[in-house]
Amino acid sequence: MESRAIRLESEHDIVVARGEVRAMAVALGFSLIDQTRLATVASELARNIVKYAGRGRVIAQAAEHADGRTGMRLIFEDSGGGIPNIEAAMRDGFTTGRGLGQGLPGSRRLAHEFQIESSPERGTRVTVVRWR
Ligand SMILES: Nc1ncnc2c1ncn2[C@@H]1O[C@H](COP(=O)(O)OP(=O)(O)O)[C@@H](O)[C@H]1O
Ligand SMILES: [Mg+2]
């Protein structure tokens, strides 16, 4: 399965990203609960981009583990102002936007691999992988 890039600029794009990620999870043979996990990650991290960076994109791709398992990798990228304190932002309940502060820590818990890079110059990239 090839990789899909979805532009994120609006509320509607978040819904599209959520749906596309779910459809790709179905196609990759993920269980219903994993489809929901991946769709939840997609909508939380896509929302962060629209809310805090204004715009960006998510790249959804099939992944293959060294042990043969199939997975899905989601790469959320933006060129916004970045996250000044990643450690703080990863804490449950931390928000600068009057949110619930669960998007980043919740997404980390829903994924098997989670990586976040951020700087004021380059913006933010969050990469998550879930294996089947
Ligand atoms: N893409 C991003 N660009 C800049 N800041 C971000 C981004 N994503 C998250 N943040 C920062 O991290 C905080 C925590 O994010 P999150 O856990 O999703 O909680 P919430 O969105 O409810 O505030 C946000 O309040 C914001 O300050
Ligand atoms: Mg959030």
Q: In CATH, what number does 4-131 get?
A: 3.30.565.10
| Closest CA to ligand 1's atom 25 | 95
How far is ligand 2, taken at its centre, from the CA of residue 65, in Å? 28
Collapsed DSSP state (helix, strand, coil) of residue 125? strand
Nearest to 129 by CA among 103, 104, 110: 110
Query: Which pLDDT does position 1 carry in this prediction?
Result: 65
The number of the ligand 1 atom at minimal distance from the alpha carbon of 56 is: 1
Nearest to 17 by CA among 64, 63, 55, 71: 55
How far is ligand 1, taken at its centre, from the CA of residue 89, in Å? 6
CB 84 within 8 A of CB 78: no
The whole-model pTM stands at: 0.97
Residue 31's alpha-carbon distances to 48, 64, 91, 117, in angstroms, are 26, 17, 28, 29
Task: List average pLDDT for each run of 10 residues in the chain, which is 132 residues long.
Answer: 92 98 98 98 98 98 96 98 98 97 98 98 98 97
The number of the ligand 1 atom at minimal distance from the alpha carbon of 100 is: 22
Query: Which pLDDT does position 130 carry in this prediction?
Result: 98
